[in-house]
């Protein structure tokens, strides 16, 4: 007698999740003169580099303060300026922390260093009620596991849209540029507990994705 009710609940969860809004990736980077980078292992990332970019010429990386984008492509909804700045600050903190153990992070734009300029383009908030409900039903857990396996975000869970440009610190030449939407693992239960919790966790995911790419391609 319970089976129809279980099936109905599962179907409802799946239908709601299918209709959940995932933010569009508003594009803000200029890729003129750059060539595509294909091995990012980050879904929907747009990444490019200068044809003559030689990483062996650089001995450190300067991670400049993150800027908050204010152009027409920005997507922050009703998120306050204070919270936008907070997530932007978290992004630079996590990037410095995550990269610091494997790469030489410097305190300024010195010779033979790369200057990394990040821009927070948008924040998508979590829906705490629906996000939590997705993890309290068997159907929701199965769906979250499927999202995690495909490295896609969980329904009703927030994200950040960020862009970054790497410059030669001396000449100002653009060496690489990329933009992507980052979200926490679909299995991270805490990501939906508060509207901006997923955005906070997404800053770590962004830093880890960048570090992992640099490590994979070290020596190229």
Q: Which of 20, 19, 24 is nearest to 181 (CA)?
A: 24
Q: What pLDDT is attached to residue 191?
A: 53
Indicate the pLDDT class of residue 195, thresholds 50, 70 and 90. Answer: confident
Indicate the pLDDT class of residue 188, thresholds 50, 70 and 90. Answer: low
Indicate the pLDDT class of residue 136, thresholds 50, 70 and 90. Answer: low
Q: Is the pLDDT of residue 94 over 90?
A: yes
Q: What mean pLDDT, rounded, does the chain reach?
A: 79
Q: What pLDDT is attached to residue 58?
A: 95
Sign of the torsion angle spanned by Cα atoms 98, 102, 107, 112: negative
Q: What pLDDT is attached to residue 194?
A: 78
Residue 198 has which token pair?
């997923």
Indicate the pLDDT class of residue 155, thresholds 50, 70 and 90. Answer: low
- Measured between alpha carbons, how far is residue 134 from residues 10, 38, 49, 153, 172 in Å? 10, 33, 39, 13, 47
Domains of the chain: 28-126+156-216 (3.40.50)
Indicate the pLDDT class of residue 110, thresholds 50, 70 and 90. Answer: very high
Q: What pLDDT is attached to residue 23?
A: 47
Indicate the pLDDT class of residue 192, thresholds 50, 70 and 90. Answer: low
Residue 95 has which token pair?
């990037």
Q: What pLDDT is attached to residue 14?
A: 39
Q: Is the pLDDT of residue 178 over 90?
A: yes
Which pLDDT tens digit goes with each residue over 75-92? 999 999 999 999 999 999
Q: Is the pLDDT of residue 145 over 60?
A: no
Contact 178, 48 (CB under 8 A): yes
Which pLDDT tens digit goes with each residue over 32-72? 899 999 888 888 789 999 999 999 999 999 999 999 999 98
Distance (Å, rounded) from C-alpha 126 to C-alpha 213? 27
Share of residues in the chain with pLDDT > 90 (%): 55
Burial class (CB in 10 A: 0-12, 13-18, 19+), 29: middle
């Amino acid at each position: 007698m319970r089976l129809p009710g279980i099936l109905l609940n599962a179907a409802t969860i799946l239908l709601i999740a299918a209709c959940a809004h995932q933010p569009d990736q508003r594009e803000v980077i200029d890729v003129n003169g750059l060539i595509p980078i294909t091995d990012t292992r980050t879904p929907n990332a747009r990444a490019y580099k200068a044809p003559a970019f030689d990483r062996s010429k650089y001995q450190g990386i300067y991670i400049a303060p993150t800027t908050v984008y204010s152009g027409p492509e920005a997507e922050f909804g009703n998120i306050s300026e204070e919270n936008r700045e907070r997530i932007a600050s978290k992004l630079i903190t996590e990037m410095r922390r995550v990269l610091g153990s494997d790469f030489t992070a410097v305190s300024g734009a010195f010779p033979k260093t790369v200057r990394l300029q990040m821009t927070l383009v948008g924040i998508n908030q979590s829906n705490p009620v629906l996000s939590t409900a997705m993890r309290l039903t068997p159907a929701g857990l199965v769906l979250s596991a499927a999202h995690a396996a495909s490295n896609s975000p969980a329904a009703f869970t927030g994200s950040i849209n960020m862009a970054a440009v790497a410059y030669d610190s001396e000449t100002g030449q653009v060496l690489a540029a990329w933009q992507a939407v980052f979200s926490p693992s679909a299995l991270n239960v805490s990501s939906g507990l508060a509207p901006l919790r997923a955005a906070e966790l997404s800053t770590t995911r962004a830093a880890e994705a960048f570090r992992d790419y640099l490590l994979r391609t070290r020596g190229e």
